[in-house]
Amino acid sequence: MNNTSVKISIQTQDFNLQDEVDLLEQDNAVDGAVVTFTGRVRNKNEGLTVSGLYLEHYSGMTEKSLAKIIAQAQQRWQIGRVSVIHRIGQLAIGDQIVFVGVTSMHRQDAFAAAEFIMDYLKVQAPFWKKELTEQGEKWLDAKQSDNKQAQQWNN
């Protein structure tokens, strides 16, 4: 990885947090900040007990969409390496779903860029979650609050 490498991975298999942090840090002496976010499957959503999750995506568009979001972040902030991993397929409670890692010289840019990437991933990247709940299978509805969160970056 060079100092502005981008990793985008859509995968069924789990990822190891330390391995991903190592990739961001290896041979990278210029960046003093590493910010990571990991999203996991919750056991409750909208009052219902969730026992699992199925994640569908639009292969090809997903990767393109994430690359565009990362490019926007690179234009807004001075950041180094970026890594985005999103899992697809069947997931269980507590499983890791998504990883966003950003390095930069100083913490402010890494924090902001990581949050921006996550906020835009939520509203632009073509993934869909189907929950397995006590009432059966249910496709999740998009949340208005996620749109508001992403729109805040335009202010």
Partner 1 sequence: MTIKVVFFATLREQLDCSEVQVPASEVNTIADIKIKLARKNEHWQQVFSHSALLSAINHDMVQSEHTVKTGDEVAFFPPVTGG
**Which residues are near partner 1 by CB under 8 A?**
39, 55-58, 60-61, 64-65, 86, 97-98, 118, 121-130, 139-143
Q: State the minimum distance, in angstroms, from the CB of residue 3 to partner 1.
A: 27
Q: State the minimum distance, in angstroms, from the CB of residue 138 to partner 1.
A: 10
Written as six digits, the tokens of 109 are 């840019």
Written as six digits, the tokens of 71 are 């490019």
Helix 61-76, helix 107-124: angle, nearest 10: 150
The kind and range of the H/E element at 68 are helix 61-76
C-beta closer to partner 1: residue 105 or 123: 123
C-beta closer to partner 1: residue 4 or 147: 147
Q: State the minimum distance, in angstroms, from the CB of residue 63 to partner 1.
A: 8
Stated length of the chain? 155
C-beta closer to partner 1: residue 25 or 146: 146
C-beta closer to partner 1: residue 37 or 111: 37
Alpha carbon of 99 to those of 7, 15, 29, 37, 91: distances in Å?
Answer: 11, 9, 22, 6, 15
